[in-house]
Amino acid sequence: MEKVVAKELGEKITITSEDISIYYKKLYPTGRFESIFQDEEKNINEMIIKHLRREKAEKAYKSWLNELQDKYPIEVNETKWKELTG
């Protein structure tokens, strides 16, 4: 399921430099990422991009799911459902 969602939504998600800048300013209002670990500082942009991509995918998921439900309506046979569920 995750692969389908990633393929369907992931291809449509774009992260701009403005998105990164806004997020960075929100996360680090002082304007400086400070860490005692050098590796963390190098990977901060990558971490921000992954986070923004996940946020945008979560937002897009609901509308994508609604589109699928409109396109492929599901009808439940109540009699059979009751038989199956006891």
Q: What confidence tens digit (pLDDT) does each residue in 5-21 have?
A: 777 777 778 899 899 88
pLDDT of 81: 92
Residue 41's pLDDT is: 59
The residue ranges of every structural domain in the chain are 2-73
Phi, psi torsion values for 24, nearest 5 degrees:
-60, -45
Is the full-model pTM beyond 0.75?
A: no
Q: How far apart are CA 66 and CA 42, in angstroms?
A: 39
The segments of the chain whose pLDDT lies below 70 read: 1, 31-42
